[in-house]
Structure 1
């Protein structure tokens, strides 16, 4: 049985855009779509707020939200298999658990305060830092449509893991499924202590670091399928800045996030954290086991 694409919905505009994106992704993969509403609203708001709203329980509101999201997904992709569920618990915990049986989680950027901000909300950030599956987050400027067979572009940051990288594998499969170009980017920097003012050696340290980056990129992509159009790029600069610049022309930016089973804090890393907040396209954070 194919694993579902799971999308967290809460009735906000960012979450409905995530429903659109997830429906397209599920249709491309021929996978089922699962819509999940998770909240402790009934527990910590109680019946008083429900009475103020003229409704007996918060669960009715949750089911209304899910029905609206399901209707939206069916109008967009009529042939999808869709399931829905209301989970009366903290959304961070519920969505991380949902990710254990998902092909991917898709989320908008709404924070827990209900205010849509430029930065990623705490729920999306926490889920991206702990989920066992790829987490795709749509930023405020990200398109809500998965572009298939239209000359789209999937950008992936290539790290040290090479062909063993889960992020690279995910990016290759996304590019193949969409008929998109895979833009594989390796950032590199020349440490300041290696620079020299000698005219005969000028540029030599930089050339060596750039060649090393090119070698890593070539090794990582040696097993790339021939039916995927791959572009290789080495770019001087911090990885965060390089990938943010690349996001301006991408439909999807893919980055890896190392997972340490013994660590309980946010497991994102500076690069993934930075692109989640500031990329102008959808960002997929793919867990990399240490």
Structure 2
């Protein structure tokens, strides 16, 4: 019986690598692929902006990033068959919610955060501790590494 593989996507290179890995695993197992991206207003938004910026739709931007990531990382058939999920809210919680009932959750080792020195990103660290299913963290390249991880 086929299951579902959930993969977190934010457009970063580690998330594209995780997306490729998850798609290859789904092809091997016959599982469906669900690509998830989340968005939320920055914490400083309320203090800096009295209201929403005209012509700025963070949900639409997240959808565009997700579409571009799937088109860039996967062949057209795999991209077309993936379920695309855009969630308003915090990334770790969005992934944990999406992973309910999934056979596997896949994330990159770090995403769009500014903390490049972290060994494991905050999202990947959180989901490995709290996921309702097995988690694969796809590692990127590290300094001094000659080839892909």
TM-score for both structures, normalised by structure 2: 0.76
2:120 to 246, 249, 268: 268
- 1:289 offset after TM fit, Å? 2.6
Q: Does 1:236 align with 2:88?
A: yes
Contact map agreement 1:162 1:219 (CA 8 A) in 2: no
What SS class does the counterpart of residue 57 from structure 2 fall into? helix
Q: Does 1:214 align with 2:66?
A: no
Instruction: Give deviations 1:157-190, integer Å, cap 9, x for gaps.
Output: 0023269721111011011111111100001012
Contact map agreement 1:151 1:179 (CA 8 A) in 2: yes
Q: Highest relative contact order (Cα 8 Å, sep 6+), 1 or 2?
A: 2
CA distance in 2, matches of 1:250, 1:195: 40
Match of 1:171 in 2: 22
Q: Does 1:158 align with 2:5?
A: no
Match of 2:101 in 1: 249
Contact map agreement 2:15 2:108 (CA 8 A) in 1: no
- 1:253 offset after TM fit, Å? 0.2
Q: Larger Rg: 1 or 2?
A: 1
CA distance in 1, matches of 2:9, 2:15: 11
What SS class does the counterpart of residue 22 from structure 2 fall into? helix
CA distance in 1, matches of 2:102, 2:54: 32
Which runs of structure 1 show a deviation greater than 4 angstroms over 4 or more consecutive aligned residues?
none
- 1:204 offset after TM fit, Å? 5.6
Contact map agreement 1:162 1:217 (CA 8 A) in 2: no
The alpha-carbon distance between structure 1 residues 212 and 195, as it changes in their structure 2 partners (threshold 3 A), is farther
Match of 1:285 in 2: 137
Q: How many residues align?
A: 131
Contact map agreement 1:162 1:220 (CA 8 A) in 2: no
Contact map agreement 2:36 2:86 (CA 8 A) in 1: yes
Contact map agreement 2:104 2:135 (CA 8 A) in 1: yes
Unaligned segments of structure 1, at least 5 residues: 1-149
The alpha-carbon distance between structure 1 residues 163 and 257, as it changes in their structure 2 partners (threshold 3 A), is closer
- Please tell me the root mean square deviation across aligned C-alpha atoms, in Å: 2.8
Match of 1:125 in 2: none
